[in-house]
Structure 1
């Protein structure tokens, strides 16, 4: 009796439309638009999978990839799944010391990098014991494609169990070394299927794909969504607000981080008419300001759907798809079907509605654990099997989840708990404020002191003392920042998240005696 195949690629391939010669992906920012059909995806992934098979790798070998975004890079991801190995995407911003850590930790059998980086990446890989290093560029060149061209365009997907590893995603590592989150075929497929239903995906959809594909949002949420629906993608290798706005009339779905929405709001081409055919705007990976949510409604007539997920869990919650009026700015919606979300205090006791505490989750989407870190894995799960996200938040009486911040961002000043997101909410509502970040820094008397770093809107003038004075009229004194800095911009990582660890490091000596 043949075992059932739970290979994620097999499920995605089964969703391809009957007409394999229809366009699957159209490039939007190449000199001449390129049109990839579903047959191209079938043949390209087969040839790459056959190349991988020819290497006779041990089962579940890791294949590490650090390349620029391209359709061929997406095909490589699908081919790794197809061949039954483990995909390890690496942020294109990582430098030599970081790559050395990831390759040393994951011990990949294969490394694929951009041609321009081959010299230093291959040296690191070969020293670590990796036997195969290929190049892949964003102009359809590289040794990977040269070698794959000699292989057959027919391939039978490897049989995999739902619990077999499909990918390892290294967390951003804001404190200590990055951890490799192990995601299975079952984790990824269950989440893709839930989102397919929750967000109303149709074969007639057209997704504008402007996100990187080394991260959950672009690689899993966006790509899986379109592939599982058999829907076309309009592919941007890099986000361009003007070009993206120009493509909205031909699309139905757009996914972005909050920064992308802010930049689109600066485009004259963003109008209700341009968005008339759009049915879904999704935001995630960083908090969406309420002002952005409201400005988007006013400009386009649409409400952005904010959701919540992590590298370890893929998507956990979502604002409602229908009715659109049920989407609440400032919240990440309700738990997705099959996903459990609860809030506990520091002693592990459940908290009532609207009380702030640590967010814990469980479900078929929750990862298998951290790569080669059994003790850390055990530490991050409760005795009854719930994953401790490290996020702090609350659930209201109607089930809507609000994220207040990360537990590591919690500030304890004079024995009182201060949640940065609460203070940021007040600051961001002030006239002339574009955004803010609130951090805690060492203080000789209070243990930690609250510090705010604020960015002004173009043309506005802000003064730190005036911001502090205004806050004293709105919140408890222990929450009011001891110091307010006005800066040109906040430090961010490639996904648009504010790097508070850098701000804490920058200001750590502020109150030193």
Structure 2
């Protein structure tokens, strides 16, 4: 069969001279494209030697490292399905993911291996390996003993390449199934649309467990045969030190807010830069304008989601408008009402999309998948959108009750379900309010049932910290007598949100 393995596409774009640098950075080893080939082959051979076969899932919760990127490539080469997990996830969350995805192998940080092994055993996982942020662990130790030659496993375009879990409005996370063709089509589109050219160097400070850092940034670099300066985390001083050696930087709005707070962040520092992009959360017009005034560069804002990668983008050549997400990329888009009736330009409705980048569906959720697609194949994004007279698209809100904090999606229902389990709690409601650094902060309103005396804000926060990733933990908790409701009994979250904002002001 024709090989549509995504790795095969990447390898075809590697430079002819494989000694050229693929990765370097202040805290990571320098790795060539030839090293990528050899080391990904060794890891792929290890995974298959442990019994993993094409189509099996490999769940990964590790710190950011070159070796973690190589593990992703190894999974592609072996025909395995890569399942990255946020490093902030706690045991209760991990147990759900492993139980739902039933991976053959789990790779985790050595510091959490005892806990993960216990969960893995309960979920029927065959093997647990370790990998820390320095690239050390049983994964690399065992891989180093493997043969460095491998014929990449042929895949059809419809075969799964990855599953990424996205929080669910009902509290249950959904595994978005992404195929080799989904990822390849989006990578090709972005590579072309954003003008990647020979000599580009990507400065990478994003996490690699979600679409933005893993698929958007790294895929563009792989398709371009570009060097990546890989930073383990975002640090303004380190970014500023490396910008003169780079040409492309991709970030979330928080990154740009923090860079602008640094006096050392100047126009001269950005002299070699070709492109700054922003995504994962709305970019404030204030930040957009301040960045242009400081650096002379105009941030390119785009819009995407786990289920489809990038959907729209401001133009590379042409006017980039603050508060907009530009024009559709390699997909059809339309704006419709809740019943699916297409609306006229200028009206606000729900964005629906169709194209080669749109995911295959939700893992083991056929009914949920069917409910999210129209009969003619359009996927309902849930994002309230307006197409302006200028043709630019604007995301104006969300029909789904979503909070975006620091670039991460947070669904209130998930947090509410854990708060409601707490002794002494009758019910809860979670909302987002504006935050100068994170974009939005999580705020909870809690009604007690009287069984626990003197329940305090800190008690609720401490309880949730043990259950959920830190970015989901409320920044503030209100203990209230009741929740405001409409005549149908539905909680009026807009009133709660208004109260949280008023208190903040």
Measured against the shorter chain, the TM-score band is 0.7 to 0.9
- Corresponding residue number in structure 2 for 1:8: 6
Instruction: Give the corresponding residue for 1:43.
Output: 38
Q: Give the superposition deviation at 1:345.
A: 1.2
Cα distance in 1 for partners of 2:470, 2:295 equals 25
After superposition, give the CA deviation of every residue in 1:238-274 in whole Å (9 maximum; x if it has no partner): 1101110121111100000000010010112211111
Offset of residue 318 of structure 1: 0.4
Check the 8 A contact 2:158/2:181 in 1, yes or no.
yes
> What displacement does 1:506 show?
4.7
In structure 2, what is the Cα distance between the partners aligned to 1:272 and 1:12? 34
* Cα contact 1:286–1:497 (8 A) shared by 2: no
State whether residues 320 and 327 of structure 1, in contact with CA within 8 Å, keep that contact through their aligned partners in structure 2. Answer: yes
Report if the CA contact (8 A) 2:88-2:470 is conserved: no
Q: Does residue 64 of the first structure (1) align with residue 62 of the second (2)?
A: no
CA deviation map 1:48-107 (0-9, x unaligned) = 011112123243000000000000000000000000010000000000000000000000
Alpha-carbon deviation of 1:187? 0.1
2:325 to 332, 336, 339: 332
Partners of 1:330 and 1:274 in 2: CA distance: 26
Instruction: Trace 1:76-475 onto structure 2 (pairs within 5 A).
Output: 76-173=71-168, 175-323=170-318, 326-336=319-329, 338-409=330-401, 453=433
Q: What SS does the aligned partner of 1:69 have?
A: coil
Aligned length: 434
Would you say the 8 A contact 1:285–1:497 is kept in 2? no
Q: Residue 507 of structure 1: CA displacement?
A: 7.8
Q: Could you tell me how far 1:454 is from its partner in structure 2?
A: 5.2
Ranges of 4+ aligned residues in structure 1 off by more than 4 Å: 451-457, 496-499, 501-513
CA RMSD after TM alignment: 2.7
- Aligned to 1:405, the other structure's residue is in SS state strand
2:52–2:105 CA contact under 8 A, matched in 1 = no
What do the CA deviations read for 1:421-441 (whole angstroms, capped 9, x no partner)? 9xxxxxxxxxxxxxxxxx9xx
Consecutive unaligned residues of structure 2, counting only runs of 5 or more, are 405-411, 413-428, 438-463, 486-505
Instruction: Measure the CA separation in 2 of the matches of 1:224 and 1:71.
Output: 14
C-alpha separation between the residues in 1 aligned to 2:29 and 2:207?
19
CA deviation map 1:476-503 (0-9, x unaligned): xxxxxxxxxxxxxxx9xxxx9986x958
Evaluate the alpha carbon distance shift between residue 497 and residue 352 of structure 1 in structure 2; reply closer, same or farther with a 3 A threshold.
farther
Task: Give TM-score scaled by structure 1 length.
Answer: 0.80
Displacement, 1:284?
0.3
C-alpha separation in 2, matches of 1:280 and 1:353: 30
Report Cα offsets for 1:250-302 as digits up to 9, x if no partner: 11000000000100101122111111111100000011001000000000001
Give, in angstroms, the shift of residue 310 of structure 1. Answer: 0.5
Structure 2 SS opposite 1:376:
helix
Q: What residue is the counterpart of 1:417 in the other structure?
A: none
TM-score (norm 2): 0.81
Moved more, 352-361 or 398-407: 398-407
Higher relative contact order (CA closer than 8 Å, sequence separation 6+): 2
In structure 1, runs of 5+ residues without a counterpart are: 411-419, 422-438, 440-448, 458-490
Cα distance between partner residues in 2 of 1:508 and 1:203: 59
CA distance, structure 1, for counterparts of residue 435 and residue 92 of structure 2: 32
Relative distance call for 1:218 and 1:497 in structure 2 (3 A) is farther
Contact 1:10/1:157, CA 8 A, preserved across alignment = yes
Q: Tell me how far apart the structure 1 counterparts of residues 137 and 360 of structure 2 sit (CA, whole Å).
A: 34
Cα distance in structure 2, aligned partners of 1:115 and 1:497: 20
Q: Secondary structure at the match of 2:207?
A: coil
Q: Superposition pairs for residues 470-509 of structure 1, below 5 Å?
A: 502=474, 506=478
Relative to structure 1, is the Cα distance of residues 125 and 10 closer, same or farther in structure 2, using a 3 angstrom cutoff?
same
Match of 1:460 in 2: none
Query: Could you tell me how far 1:172 is from its partner in structure 2?
Result: 3.0
Change (3 A) 1:510 1:307: farther
Contact 2:13 2:225 in 1 (8 A): yes
Contact 1:226 1:232 (8 Å CA) reproduced? yes
Aligned to 2:400, what secondary structure does the other structure show? helix
Pick the aligned partner of 2:23 from 25, 30, 45: 25
- 2:197 counterpart SS class: coil
Q: Helix, strand or coil: the match of 2:156?
A: coil
* Residues 366-414 of structure 1 deviation map (CA, whole Å, 9 limit, x = unaligned): 000000000000000011110000111111233311111210249xxxx
